[in-house]
A = this chain, B = another copy of it.
Amino acid sequence: MGPLNPDAARWMGAALALAARGRGRTAPNPNVGCVIVNRGRVVGRGWTQPGGRPHAEAMALAQAGEEARGATVYVTLEPCAHESARGPACSSLLIEAGVARVAIARGDPDPRTHGAGIARLEAAGIAVAQDMLAAEARTAMAGFLTRQALGRPQVTLKLATSLDGCIALASGESRWITGAEARAHAHLERARHEAILVGRGTWQADTPTLDVRLAGLEDRAPRRLLLSRRHPHGSAEGNGWHKIRSPHDIATLAGVDHVLVEGGAGAASAFLAADLVDRLLLYRAPILIGGGLPALGDIGLGALAEAHGRWQQTDARQLGSDRLEVYERAREA
Chain A residues at the B interface, C-beta cutoff of 8 Å: 159, 161-166, 169-170, 173-177, 269, 272-273, 280, 282, 285-292, 294-301, 303-304, 307-308, 310-313, 325, 327
Chain B proximity of A65: nearest CB distance (Å): 49
What are 13 inter-chain pairs, A to B, with CB distance below 8 A? Answer: A161-B164, A163-B280, A163-B327, A164-B294, A165-B166, A287-B304, A288-B301, A288-B310, A290-B296, A290-B297, A290-B298, A290-B299, A291-B294
Given contacts A272-B288, A294-B291, contact A164 B163 (CB under 8 A): no
Question: Is B304 in contact with A173, judged by CB distance below 8 angstroms?
Answer: yes
Do B289 and A307 touch (CB < 8 A)? yes
Select which of B163, B169, B295, B312 is within 8 A of A301 by beta carbon: B169
Residue in chain B with minimal CB distance to A282: B163
CA A169 – CA B308 in complex, angstroms? 13
A169 touches B296 (CB 8 A): no
| Copies of the polypeptide in the assembly | 2
The CA of A310 and the CA of B95, in the complex, are separated in Å by 63
Query: Looking at the complex, which one of B170, B175, B287, B294 makes contact with A307 (CB distance below 8 Å)?
Result: B287
What 9 additional pairs, Cβ within 8 angstroms, besides A164-B294, A169-B303, A288-B296? Answer: A163-B280, A163-B311, A163-B325, A170-B298, A173-B303, A269-B290, A280-B288, A291-B299, A292-B301
Question: Within the assembled complex, what's the spacing in Å between the Cα atoms of A176 and B291?
Answer: 23
Interchain nearest-CB distance for A299 vs B (Å): 3
Known interface pairs A304-B174, A304-B175. Does A286 touch B327 (Cβ–Cβ under 8 Å)?
yes
Residues on B with beta carbons closer than 8 Å to the beta carbon of A327:
163, 286
